[in-house]
Amino acid sequence: MQILEALDITSWQGPFSAEIVAKAGNALEAGKLLYAQPLPFELTDAERRFLSPDCLDGKSKNVSFRPDSGALKGTRYEGTARDGLRVMLQRYYDRASDLLRALCPRYSDQLMPGFTSFRPAEIAGRTTSWRHDDTRLHVDAFPSRPLQGLRILRVFTNVNPDKPRIWRVGETFEQAAARFLPGIGRPRLGTASMLSWLRITRGRRTPYDHFMLGIHDRMKADESYQSQVPQVQLAIPPGTTWACYTDSVSHAAMSGQFAFEQTFYLPVAAMNDPERSPLRILECMVGHSLL
């Protein structure tokens, strides 16, 4: 399958033609990456000072912003510099929201904002555990944030002035699920309630979350899978914006520095074709509801 769906657009806000809207919605739900080159996120002269890992707090790999509350984390900056970071991240959230609402109008009223992230650190060479190593192919699932079937839709932009961002993209979700699902046991009775009661998870971990987390972990832990599964490598140039469902696109970020990422959550029912969601695919495989 051709993994990229190139979009001939130069604006974050649209309006876009009916042809582009239809193409974008179908491509996203088919497991492709929407790819707009060039569609840069322009920084002001003052914001270019943030193109340095020095803005991080020393513990975090990115600066994160909550659009719903205005909370900013991951930076050591205070005062006017901190305010400048917040303004920059708010503007990226606004641009990414405009883009998805114009490209996918059916989603518009149902998109729920997650974190807005700025990633000023180089990916390559970062020391971490295999479970947190994003240079390994994986589909997104969160151990402490059960999504209970919600889709994870993300918009990315490479703002590095000189270097591409290198990604790998692997097999389809159906293929990965068929490979790893048989080795994942059913969730133990009472575990979800206990995890929520102990506040290990923010809400109830459904059977869907259990299986998604199992697929995520088994993909990352399998060294031979990482090297042998069919995959393509993408060099994403500066000034490029792309988007995909990261809960169904097998992906790995290999190298690159200075990028933005906006997370949105979407109910399965808001999709053009809910049967293409990981929830429905896994339910077909196990033969019962996972919520």
Per-residue pLDDT of the chain in tens (291 residues, 90 and over written 9) = 689 999 999 999 989 999 999 999 999 999 999 999 999 999 999 999 999 999 999 999 999 999 999 999 999 999 999 999 999 999 999 999 999 999 999 999 999 999 999 999 999 988 788 889 999 999 999 999 999 999 999 999 999 999 999 999 999 999 999 999 999 999 888 888 888 888 889 899 999 999 999 999 999 999 999 999 999 999 999 999 999 999 999 999 999 999 999 999 999 999 999 999 999 999 999 999 999
30 inside domain: yes
| DSSP-assigned beta bridge partners for residue 35 | 6, 242
CATH of the domain at 95: 2.60.120
Alpha-carbon span 110 to 275, nearest angstrom: 18
Q: Is 291 part of a structural domain of the chain?
A: no
- 279 in any annotated domain: yes
Structure token digits, residue 120: 């000023």
Domain membership of residue 236 (yes or no) is yes
Q: Are 28 and 247 in contact (CB under 8 A)?
A: no
118 burial level (CB within 10 Å; 0-12, 13-18, 19+): buried
CB atoms inside a 10 Å sphere around CB 247: 24
* 53 in a structural domain: yes
Q: Return d(Cα 85, Cα 43) in angstroms, integer.
A: 11
Cα–Cα distance measured from residue 195 to residue 198, given in angstroms and rounded to the nearest whole number: 5
Q: Which helix (H) or strand (E) holds 156?
A: strand 151-158
Range of 131's domain?
4-286
Please tell me the total count of domains within the chain.
1
Provide the β-strand partners of residue 264.
113, 153
Structure tokens at 241: 């914006």
Residue 215: enclosing H or E segment and its boundaries?
helix 207-221
Using DSSP bridges, classify how beta strands 4-6 and 33-36 pair: parallel, antiparallel or unpaired: parallel
Does a structural domain hold residue 232?
A: yes
State if pTM tops 0.75: yes
For position 196, what pLDDT does the model report? 87
